[in-house]
Amino acid sequence: MLLRLAIRDYLLAENLELEFAPGLTVLTGETGAGKSLLVDALALLLGGRAEPDLVRAGAGRAELAAEFVLAGHPETLAWLAQAGIAPDDESCLLRRTLEREGRSRAWINGTPVTLGQLRELGELLVDIHGQHAHQSLLRAEVQRALLDEYAGAQDMAARVAAAWRAWQQAAEQSRRALAEQDHLTREKAETEALLAELAPVEGDAARWAELVAEHGRLAHLHSLLQSTARTLELLSEGESAALAQLNAASHELVQMGEMDASLAPLIQTLASAQAEVQETARELQRYADHLNPDPERQQELDRGMGEIHRLARKHRVAPEELPPLAARWRTRLEELAAARDVRQLAEAEARAQVDYGENAEQLSRMREKASQALAKSVNAALKELALSDARFAVTLEPWPEPRAGGRESVAFQVSAHASLALGPLDKVASGGELSRISLALQTVLSSRAGVPTLVFDEVDVGIGGAVAEAVGRRLAALAAQRQVLVITHLPQVAACGQQHLRIRKAAANGSIATEVEALDRTARVEEIARMLGGKEITATTRRHASEMLAHSRNP
């Protein structure tokens, strides 16, 4: 549950520190005092969208923090463990800052986190019902989402939507393949012809360099033979060849070494030089033995290089770029072969359709079962909210064709009296009735969910009198299971609270700031009397307020 909430430099809140108790907490105050500011701040702290103008005028940044007690909520503890964030004695501290320049940062138990992580954890901690929830209730997609939430079918609904997209994508690929089959056949034939032409160079990126090197050797064969002969003459075959000179020098140095042992390193160095020159001469001789004139090979190389030059000019690339070009065409040919397999695509479409059908069928069964249970629970709640003659139902109508949302439409219907036919909410329910139906749905859904803290922001708009008292009792009953925070303008609801916080605006140092005060019994009487009688508080309104508080303890 929510234990503490700190708000600093957020809109009109300069420095607020609030502590919350279990059960039902009511927040009241005059219109414009900033009651919804607390809910908005909490929503922002739980990962809501931030705007720079939320920072209080004159401040550099806004800072929000909240402490939650996690005892009895293993799902939240498991999320923290998976995220690598250790709870502090089974509690959790959320913190978020918003710079005036627009930058926002967030932490959980001192660990920096993304806003996505903050939202994930926030969905496990708090469920916020806004004051305009009854308006969104008129939309078909909202009704479908509420039924899926009650059925615990959100994951299944997501799988159905994903299966629908996969099916439509497969169907589009199949249709496109059929429509483009002739074009793809022509392109495939053209690509195969191009690859056949480049077959000599495909997959051999080094071939061109090898041909150039070999052609160069054959073109300069006579010069290479002459140079090789002269080099061998200088190294080993002439009368004054280098090897003979080294041998003579080595003989002299060995004789000198017999007289002076310090010359041993020089003798070794000269011996190494003799060996290297001798090895060089042998390798050069082998090279000369392989330099045989081959006119046919020369012609073959001329033809091969000429063909490569022709292909390079035709495709407007350098000769060494022909193998990569062939590789790209080979990839395109493989793509064309896959795209042209109409039968394979049709089979993939059929499999995707079956997958969608299986998931949609399971979703339909879950919705059918949940629709009856939801209607029963809402009808029971409506009786508590002074709509005992009303009747609520969830209708499921098959679509003419399957859709991403499943095989059927979901519609909430109501009748003001058992003798009247059911009809759509926007056609049958009045504004006050719609507010109570919305509240009944919200409390039914919230009591089923595992979220420990529920926030209701003026969901009692448009009702009063005995109905307002019934709403208060309904919220108090829900607070026996969860921590419930309610922003209300109804004294009947305020009287049901176990904790009462009053929000007001106060002037200080030339500016206006929002303040929050926890009320004791005497102050609660005054506040409820104000809600009953406005600015003029009389002994009668005080007595009435005191009676309402007493009645809320013993309904």
Q: Per residue of the chain (555 residues), what is the pLDDT tens digit?
A: 999 999 999 988 888 899 999 999 999 988 776 777 888 899 899 988 888 788 888 888 999 999 999 887 888 888 998 888 887 778 899 999 999 888 899 999 999 999 999 999 988 898 887 755 556 677 888 889 889 989 999 999 999 999 999 999 999 988 887 777 777 778 788 888 888 887 777 655 566 666 666 655 655 555 666 677 678 778 877 667 888 888 888 888 888 888 888 888 888 888 888 888 888 888 888 877 666 656 666 666 667 666 777 877 888 878 777 777 888 888 888 877 766 577 888 899 999 999 999 999 999 999 999 999 999 999 988 887 877 788 899 999 999 999 999 999 999 998 877 778 888 877 877 666 777 787 788 778 776 666 888 888 876 666 777 778 888 888 888 888 889 999 888 899 999 999 999 998 887 666 778 888 999 999 999 999 998 886 778 888 899 989 889 887 655
- Between vectors from CA 156 to CA 362 and to CA 150, what angle results, nearest 5°? 95
State how far the Cα of 18 lies from the Cα of 516, in Å rounded to an integer.
8
Q: Is the overall model pTM greater than 0.85, yes or no?
A: no
Which one-letter amino acid corresponds to residue 397? E
Maximum Cα interatomic distance, the chain, rounded to a whole number of Å = 140
Residue 293: CB atoms within 10 A of its CB come to: 10
Question: Which residue spans within 336-489 are E strands per DSSP?
Answer: 391-403, 406-415, 423-424, 453-457, 483-487
3-class DSSP assignment, residue 506: strand
Nearest CA to 467 out of 535, 390, 353 is that of 390
Nearest CA to 6 out of 81, 62, 72 is that of 62
State how far the Cα of 69 lies from the Cα of 76, in Å rounded to an integer.
10
The domain spans of the chain are: 186-339
Per-residue pLDDT, 226: 63
The region that residue 58 occupies, defined by phi over 0 for left and psi between -120 and 50 for alpha, beta otherwise, is left
